[in-house]
Amino acid sequence: MPVEAQSGAAGPRLAWLLDLIRPARASLLPLVGGLVFSYAFFVGAPAWNQNSRFALTRALVEEQTTAIDSSHHATGDKSFREGHFYSDKAPGVSLFATIPYAGYSAVRALLGGMPPTFAVQSLDPKVAALGTALDPEDRLPGDRLGYSPSYRFALYLCTFFVVVLPTAALGGSATFLLARALSKSHRAAVVATVTYGLGTPVWVYSTSLYGHALCGALLLSAFAVLELAPARARAAPMTAGMLLGAAVITEYPAAVVAVVGVIYAWARRGRVDALRVCLGGLPWALLLAGYHWVAFGSPLATGYDFVYRAEFAEGMAVNYGLGAPDPTVALALLFGNFRGLFYVSPICLLAVWGLARGATRSERRGLYIVASVVFVYFWLLNAGYYMWDGGASAGPRHMIPALGFVALGIIHAWRAVPKATAILLGVSVVQSLLLAAGSPEAAQHGDPLWEFALGRLAEAMPSASTGHANLGLLLGLPGVLSVLPLLLCWAWLAPRAFRTGPATTGPSSADRSPG
């Protein structure tokens, strides 16, 4: 690109990225803005997974330690080694959250605010009437933890900056730019982005401090850089490596996809750029090894080697709970009404078909093949995991990192059956909205949509802000009416998102032709 040839300065090195974004910005801004608002609209309640990550963030900022002894009672997702408790999760989300949490802590201390706290709330009226603080060690069955407003706000703040913004900005932009390059169609790129961001369980897992959605956005962004950056953009492979490394420290299973990324870089750009990808990920690898060493005594030891709760430790005892994929489970993960991907997100059925079509017929079949491999990898990995249902989970949460890649397949479905694609996408968005309103911690039995999420939304009252809430509830709107502000936001943004950018001044052949 001409602007890159002007100099070797940092600015021109990124000119290729600006050249990609500039013609797309008219749609990217409302699309990313809509995703940010949709994710941030829901205020996730504290739960084990989030509390485990948040506990490590607090320990790093407040005590400069990796041990979570001060907050370990808030979570069952923890490890125990040499007299101390640790988070058993990959540390990426917690490490990234130290930045917003440190800022929050500084402002809170300056203003004299209360620190984040939690306490046992007994359901026994006699105990509650005493008004005495209960030791978390003495919790009885049925007792619950209550969280202070400062705890909830700090958790939400970390979620916003570490999960909401990166997932929407990186994942949404990568999906749009890749889909536009693959389809040469502005409208198809918008449909693919909506599929990714609002038509899959990526949405519900972007409302709380989980790692799945962030991991997927980082992985997809890395491949977008490798696919779209021109050969002369020498910083691009390093950038892709940094994104892949960040994904690995966020969710350990991403390591296999990172290897696929190196291979893809070699095949597409040459071995020098493949080496640059490795160099880009090296700092994250060293950081992860250092964390493991400090917390668990070895650079190769993880929190899953020291799981505290007996039922989890038993399941993780052999190969971290991983085995050969169970065919029955594999089918349930796709078609079952308990954790099935195609059940909660029927648009993914067309998208997976589109991946297969793209892998055999597209001029850029390499990326479709990679997307298919990533999807199959996470699917079979989930099917071989001892806790395949994800515990209290809304949909197949261990497959979430693959869904951005799956969304690229919707391009071919949009061309072949546009009406069916639009209908299934509408159904998927509505169902994803229900899941997001219900919370990621769906019941461990029954139908997560109609037996859990719908009832939760219908019965939600403004006082429900003590649990999984949303902006509408906080504004005083009850039940289904609480999502009205979100729908109004969509109505305002939708025509702006579908507005054709400078690079596509009219409907493309892909938009017009069903064949």
Note the pLDDT tens digit of each residue in 501-511.
544 433 344 43
Q: What is the pLDDT of residue 18?
A: 79
Residues facing 87 on adjacent strands: 78
Share of the chain above pLDDT 70, in %: 89
Structure token pair of residue 44: 């996730």
Share of the chain above pLDDT 90, in %: 74
Q: What is the mean predicted confidence (pLDDT) over 210-233?
A: 95
Round to whole Å and give the CA distance between 90 and 96.
12
Question: Residue 4 — pLDDT band, cuts 50, 70, 90?
Answer: very low
Q: What is the CB-side half-sphere exposure of residue 425 using CA atoms within 13 A? A: 22
CB count in 10 Å sphere of residue 401: 30
Out of 118-132, 321-335, 443-457, the most confident range is 321-335
Is residue 192's pLDDT more than 70?
A: yes
Note the pLDDT tens digit of each residue in 47-60.
999 999 999 999 99
> Rounded to 5 degrees, what are φ and ψ at 245?
-65, -40
Question: Residue 22 — pLDDT band, cuts 50, 70, 90?
Answer: confident
Q: What is the mean predicted confidence (pLDDT) over 17-38?
A: 88
pTM of the model: 0.91
Tell me which of 80-84, 85-89, 373-377, 454-458 is least confident: 454-458
CA distances to 65, 94, 311, 315, 328 from 161, in Å:
22, 12, 33, 33, 38
Q: What is the pLDDT of residue 500?
A: 59
Is residue 3's pLDDT more than 50?
A: no
Q: Do 147 and 131 form a contact (C-beta atoms < 8 A)?
A: no
Note the pLDDT tens digit of each residue in 222-239.
999 999 998 888 889 999
Structure token pair of residue 160: 């916003």
CA distances to 32, 137, 240, 499 from 24, in Å:
12, 55, 21, 10
Structure token pair of residue 439: 């919370």
Note the pLDDT tens digit of each residue in 428-483.
999 999 999 999 999 888 999 999 999 999 988 886 556 788 999 999 999 999 99
How long, in residues, is the chain? 515
Round to whole Å and give the CA distance between 377 and 373.
6
Question: Residue 25 — pLDDT band, cuts 50, 70, 90?
Answer: confident
Question: Residue 515 — pLDDT band, cuts 50, 70, 90?
Answer: very low
Note the pLDDT tens digit of each residue in 171-184.
999 999 999 999 99
Question: Residue 126 — pLDDT band, cuts 50, 70, 90?
Answer: low
Q: What is the pLDDT of residue 380?
A: 98
Longest dimension (CA), the chain: 77
Note the pLDDT tens digit of each residue in 376-407.
999 999 999 999 999 999 999 999 999 999 99
